[in-house]
Amino acid sequence: MKIKRQWRLLDFFYLLLVSVFVFSSWVAIAEQVQLVKEEEEEEEHPKLKAEENNLKIYIVHLKKPDNGDLDSWYGTFLPSSDNTTAGVTKHPRLVHKYRNVATGFAARLTAEEAKALAAKDGVVSAQPDRIFYLHTTHSPNFLGLHQGIGLWNESKLGQGVIIGVLDTGVWPYHPSFNDEGVPPPPPKWKGTCEFSGLECNNKLIGAKNFVTELAKTGELKSLPPLDDNGHGTHTSSTAAGNFVDGANVFGDADGTAAGMAPYAHVAMYRVCEAGCAGADILAAIDAAIDDGVDVLSLSFGAKSAPFYADSIAVGAFAATQKGIFVSCAAGNEGPDYFTLSNEAPWVLTVGASTIDRKIKANAKLGTGEELEGESLFQPKDFDQSTLLPLVYAGANGNESSAFCMPGSLQVDVVAGKVVACDRGGDIGRIEKGEEVKRAGGAAMILMNQETDGFSTSADPHVLPASHVSYAAALKIKAYMNSTSTPEATVLFRGTVIGDSHSPVVTSFSSRGPSLASPGILKPDIVGPGVSILAAWPVSVDNSSSSATFNMISGTSMSCPHLSGVAALLKGSHPDWSPAAIKSAIMTTADVANLRGKPILDQKASPADVFATGAGHVNPSKANNPGLIYDIKPEDYIPYLCGLNYTDDQVSFITQNSVNCSEVKSIPEAQLNYPSFSIVLGSGSQSYSRTVTNVGEANSVYTVNVYEPEGTKISVKPRKISFTEANQEGNYTVTISPVDRAGTNIERGFSQGYLRWVSDKYSVRSQISVIFD
């Protein structure tokens, strides 16, 4: 029976491959025919090609009308048919119409048309579209999630919760998306599946494509939302993949794969190819709101921008108003400060850290010294016992060679040798190995730069490799300089679990402070984002199994971990608001590693709050936080006015008419946030907070304060008593500068925390102070 099932699977995939080939051939022929047709039409309309090339996507925000048909109203703002440009252009101008996330639309316009449109009455702005960029067998166990007990048991593995994932699409045939044990979606689900067959089920309940054909028509592509990248399949299975036994890559990291919320439903919204267009993102969030999702997961971002100019921030606010939790990647631009994406206080901004598993591939030098490294690819036919000549790719003084850039290595220099390459240079880690292999190298040692520190990854390299730390890189270079005949090899040590230094904040994870809103401490949280194993559309190890997995790294991987955790908390506490779920995650976060010491960064130094935010997620503790800091959507209006945004800018974020002169605006740090971020000058500052009791009805909390260096903090009252559930309590924090002489404040900021403690609970709020 088992053999028959395997043959049936092989028959299925053979037919699938034939279908794809035939379909691809048909598409290619159709595109050629269409191309000829378009060329003929362009001969009839000489202006067509030039006009089409000048058209770009603009997102147009309008003042909300009192009533009327929005679709018809939107049409009145588009170029009229007797307009010269519109008359020549044969393709539709309207790309997306928005109802929930904005009052407005996305359209293809020339710069002149956009300028004229922006001057019209009723138009708030017409801005060019921005492009956003794409930023697990063991991680559930690492986070304390186990079958039959704790949060997985109390949340029923996420049953009934719908996670909407905006990404590159999904490979629906992967067993991570089988629906065994998953009940039908709740009646509120209104979404659709654009796959033509039976790809959607009780697990993958929806799939839509929003990628626009920018170069040709401005219309949605007709292809289904299949993932030809892998990113979307990986992130969606990380958030909510079902249980898959025997998951591994190259035989390593073997175990049962599962997402954070294995029985939650997944809805895929394809918005990304090489990048993710803001117009498409807004359209997808608009649809997700109508469809009835509970959580949105966005593993991409762009450089900091005011919230009204950020499609993710605008769309996420509309989702939050509907009770939808939004989790976003912090970005992969670390370790420098001020590198964050997705800074809005109504989203959870997620940084990346390690888990306690490594796939070890150590570098052994001719001296016999063994330096710890990592690699997922560990071929059995590589002779680890034989030392090979070792060469530094940058020995010729050429920077491109040092980074092993494509085409930079000479065969006569590296053939048959172990090649040491520097990390960085905007060349991918795997791509460096491809260059070494092309030039005939036998193996690669990938060496960190100083900024990378001890952060390494287990990647599916194309040849034997070892990714080593900066400290190891210095030793390797010193060794090569000490002898005329340096030698090395790579020793494969396989999967090793139990790294007591984990979690460690990785070097690439973007850091705060926030540029868009310095009074909000970001990132909010860190979670697993390094060497994460999850579903992949194709085999990276030439396996014939349909259960294909890959191991990749990024805040793109940590974000869906938190999206899944949020789904579990939503399942366990369906009445909690997005802000309540976020508060529970932040105030219960771990600030110590497995050794009980402070969480470290890539330099093996204690990580600061601009790297960790509140700390590392602890799902089980978040399920029972004791107190929460809640925020209603309308509470953000005084905050937004306090950012000195115009009435129109605030209005099209909130989708309600706002007059800031009639609103009592607040400083950023006055928002009822679960942490504090203070820019402190010469005077004292006071901020109030409201906490809600979601723990035991009769409880008393007292405050403990660890003052940031250079400050004096007082909290009033120092004790809060509760007599019933959901009762609120208030307190005020006053922060004053003190003489900083003799302190160790070198970076212009310091950090501390306050903690409300009862007999059962400890509710922690991080404090950052930037000295002005």
Q: Phi and psi (nearest 5°) for 566?
A: -60, -35
- Enumerate long-range contacts of 396-405, CB under 8 Å, 24 or more apart: 399/425, 400/425, 403/427, 403/432, 404/432, 404/433, 404/435, 404/436, 404/444, 405/435
CA distance 432 to 437: 9
Token pair of 533, please? 């194993």
Quick one: three-class SS letters along 505-541? ECCCCCCCCCCCCCCCCCCCEEEECCCEEEECCCCCC
- Selecting among 174, 231, 234, 265, the annotated active-site residue is 231
The answer to whether 220 touches 156, Cβ cutoff 8 Å, is: no
Amino acid making up residue 354? T
Can you say whether residue 160 is alpha, beta or left, with left for phi > 0 and alpha for psi between -120 and 50 degrees?
A: left
Residue listed under structure tokens 């690492």:
142
> What count of residues does the chain have?
772
Kindly report the CA angle at 400 between 398 and 403, in degrees rounded to 5?
110
Question: Is 198 buried (19+), middle (13-18) or exposed (0-12) by CB count in 10 A?
Answer: exposed
Give the max Cα distance, the chain: 82
Angle between the N-to-C axes of helices 311-321 and 278-291, in degrees from 0 to 180, rounded to the nearest 10:
10
Cα atoms found within 13 Å of the Cα of residue 560, Cβ hemisphere only = 40
The answer to whether 690 touches 672, Cβ cutoff 8 Å, is: yes
Q: For the stretch 451-470, what's the b/e string if a residue is b when 16 or more beta carbons lie within 10 angstroms of its beta carbon?
A: bbbbbbbbbbbbbbbbbbbb
The answer to whether 645 touches 661, Cβ cutoff 8 Å, is: no
Can you say whether residue 5 is alpha, beta or left, with left for phi > 0 and alpha for psi between -120 and 50 degrees?
A: alpha
CA distance 414 to 693: 65
Answer yes or no: 714 catalytic: no
CA distance 190 to 268: 14
| Bridge pairing between strands 295-298 and 325-329 | parallel
Token pair of 252, please? 């390593």
Answer yes or no: 231 catalytic: yes
- Selecting among 466, 556, 677, 699, the annotated active-site residue is 556
- Selecting among 167, 227, 452, 524, the annotated active-site residue is 167
CA distance 183 to 201: 10
Answer yes or no: 91 catalytic: no
Show which residues are catalytic.
Answer: 167, 231, 556
